[in-house]
Amino acid sequence: MGLVHKIVTWSRIKSPWIIHFNTGACNACDIEIVAALTPRYDIERFGIQLKGTPRHADVLVCSGPVTKQIKCRLKRIYDQMPEPKFVVAVGTCACSGGVFDGCYNVESGIDKVIPVSAYIPGCPASPKAIIDGVVKLLTGLEAKEAKAK
């Protein structure tokens, strides 16, 4: 069992497919995420691929605070992803609500609605920070697996 488990963990770390979802960002974080996907940063080096549908994805990359309108949609997208799944919150707003915290139409950070595995601060978070965050999430996963053993 041990070897199979190790191989599966290795494959998960080497091939994270992401889906990008805007939960109410001001669009700056989205542009930075899109910039991180360009050939300039070449995230396919890490096996990261952008997927269009939640069914294919392992990592949900969210940007922006959760607005009241998007809350149930965010939950639904999260439920549509097959296990094991992770959520990365990109930008200060996604981490805590940021400048929009307390607005009449805003719920707060992503972690109030769905569990978040990694937080990437910054307003907006730079592409390098986003890539670093995803890689740290994956290496953290490896460490957790090692500790569990």
Q: Which residues make up the interface to ligand SF4 (CB under 6 A)?
A: 25-26, 28-29, 63-64, 91-93, 98-99, 123-124
Q: Point out which span in 8-16, 24-32, 86-94, 130-138 binds other proteins (CB under 8 A).
A: 8-16
Q: H helices of the chain, where?
A: 2-14, 28-36, 71-80, 92-96, 127-148
d(CA 109, CA 64) in angstroms, rounded, equals: 8
Question: Which of 3, 52, 102, 104 contacts other proteins by CB under 8 A?
Answer: 52
Backbone angles phi, psi at 96, to 5 degrees: -140, -5
Min CB(47)–other proteins separation in Å: 6
Question: Which of 6, 10, 34, 76 contacts other proteins by CB under 8 A?
Answer: 10
The answer to whether residues 68 and 41 touch, using CB atoms and an 8 Å cutoff, is: no
d(CA 30, CA 24) in angstroms, rounded, equals: 10
Min CB(66)–other proteins separation in Å: 22
Choose from other proteins, ligand SF4, none: what does 2 bind? Cβ within 5-8 Å by kind. none
Nearest to 138 by CA among 66, 37, 43, 65: 43
Looking only at residues 62 through 91 of this chain, which bind other proteins when binding is defined by CB under 8 A?
80, 82-84
d(CA 87, CA 143) in angstroms, rounded, equals: 18
Would you say 28 or 35 has its CB closer to ligand SF4? Answer: 28
Binding site for other proteins (CB under 8 A): 7-8, 10-12, 14-15, 39, 42, 44-45, 47, 50-53, 55-56, 58, 80, 82-84
